Structure 1
Amino acid sequence: MTQEQPQSPGNFGDHQLGIYLNGMFADLTPELTTDLAALEDQARAVLAPEALGYVVPSAGSGATHRANRAAFDRWRIVPRMLRGSADRDLSCTVLGTPMPAPLLVAPMGVQTLAHPEGELATVRAAAALGVPYVHSTQASHSFEQVAEAGGGAPRWYQLYWPTDREVCLSFLERAKASGFSVLVLTLDTPVLGWRPADLDRGFLPFLRNVGIANYLTDPAFLAKLAKPVEEDPGAAALHWAQMFPNHGLSWGDLPFLREHWDGPIVLKGICSVEDARLAADHGMDGVVVSNHGGRQVDGAIAALDALPAIADAVGDRITVLFDSGVRTGADTVKALALGARAVLLGRPVLYGLALAGQQGVDHVLRCLLAELDLTLALSGHAGHGRPTRESLAAAQDGS
């Protein structure tokens, strides 16, 4: 598939003017808040208990999630004046993928917990803006369904490496055939972390065959079942459960991916400088500095705290991306200044999806892009590539 070039974005900040004009002259105000950090509170009111427990909380006590947010507060943007940023361009190309801004929709599974259309609504909203969508292995819709919904827009595939290599190879082949251009291997989830909100409800959607559409439509997976899924859905779920925990992965397994995937490969879940160096040494094309949004290891290092050292160590060798804790355009500016080439946005997308389906995702992406554009402009930067470490200052105690 040849990916369509995103249209020239202009200034995303114009979205702000549109909101003001609608409010002043048409008496129309946004149905969803434009404060993306407050979307969670709105989403809590509409999410079912099981969805609320799965989507919102983090591992253990939530310490890593809190650390992710606190890390952003430890940095302050230093605005610069009189730098002529009237004509701004946020477009960029990351790992061969053209995008209108350094932003991707992070891989998130089981999106039908938030809205019946799930990933299909998300990929349509992202495609309309040219924002790359990253498809989760644990999705409620298959590669092919998402590809059809996304059309020619850019998309990447996030792999949870199954223990069955025939299934893994089938996933890679289907993803490539469906136009996914970059492979994102998630390393921080060989098994699910300790998540009390799910455990207290005894709720794991995959055991109800929800969130395993890629498996249930896969010929290699289906060939191992004694009966069709519709005749014995429980057996299909248990067969999946034998494939998802994969404790045995090692750096020595990576050549298998390079042999069977001819595009860029990114390792997601990197918080260690040494692991980032190993990724580069093993011929990977990039890393995502991430702690899975705090959903895996309670008490882990904040992803943003890990970012500067990793960018310094390998940023000249491989592409450094970032996720975990991003809520606003200002957060995005800070991550870019600390060394990320682009940022992956997670939970706010799901909150928008829960509140208003495709329109909700569109709202979240447009608001974040507008705030990113305006924050760069107000800080004296004409594009996303301009912020550097000198664009930030460490917050003083008590500030």
Structure 2
Amino acid sequence: MTVDRMLPTPEAHDLLDLTSELATRELAGKVDDYEARGEFPREVLRTLGRAGLLGLPYPESDGGAAQPYEIYLQVLEILAGTWLGIAEAVSVHTLSCFPVAAFGSERQRKALPEMLGGELLGAYCLSEPQGGSDAASLTTRAVPDGDDWLVNGTKAWITHGGFADFYNIFVRTGGPGPKGISCLIADANTPGLLPQARERLMGLRSSAPAQIVLEDARIPHDRLVGGEGEGFAIAMRALDSGRLGIAACAVGLAQAATDYAVGYARDREQFGQPIGRFQGVGFMLADMATQVSAARALLLAAARLKDAGRPFSIEAAKAKLFATDVAMRVTTDAVQVLGGYGYVADHPVERWFREAKVLQIVEGTNQIQRMVIARSLTG
């Protein structure tokens, strides 16, 4: 299905055409193999970086492409429709570049061209095994020790863990609560920074996360991003944008599932006619298509607020909540349209079904999104 996109410039059209071409040429033939083997696609990401897709929303002066978020999110949608693991990796890398791009010192910012070009892959270390959604209660601690910070603790669910070249590590440098949290940026070869075995996931196997254990890890004092005690504010600002990225991934996944189910319903015949002509199936397809369009509209409306410099945090929470719930419903229905064939690996809908679930959890669970939205309504 061709999605009708209202794009502001010919350059944006060209960028989405390039993304579609790369998805077909570089992703489509590899996704099944990488997912089956659970292999992280580092070289594929490097290829996308060299094509300019890993720094899209950042200024050209920093090595980015200066694209509006509205366009960047549509790039993610296209990638997710072919390989969710790649789209999620691009989203996480873009998130990981934010602390240095927005708050980094002049010395730290010198690495931005390599970060935004994808030669240096980033990871975002906020969650902890016991903390879950309560990020403000994190316990990983950094204490001054000469010219270094001495860091001890464990980070959990770290996308790119063990493959990243740099890690944003949110640590406690002060007292309890959000104001005691700071952000450090550490190189992958930092002594005492120890990636653990990757998690065994239901889906997204090519991009499985890992814990990062920090045992007396020494991070130079000048790798503090922003000021001491500013880490939680940095983390939350980054997550607002990251939630839009996950919503875009959800829209792409749901669109792919809808397209596949529609194609199957046109070709599969029962009782002398294509199953799509039966009202029970046709109405299901109509609901799927409508939900995907609604999710995309909500996502792009939030992106336009961000691009206009207006508050968008609540709209990002709404988009993440709605789009990921839609992805779960639509992929479930796609399996149902295919019947027994939807439950076997010969068709991609079973993989999309497994992958959709994680989107309701990452970048803040959908229960957290509902809390954020409810508090904005009730004060």
TM-score when normalising by structure 1: 0.26
Of Structure 1 and Structure 2, the greater helix share is in: 2
TM-score when normalising by structure 2: 0.27
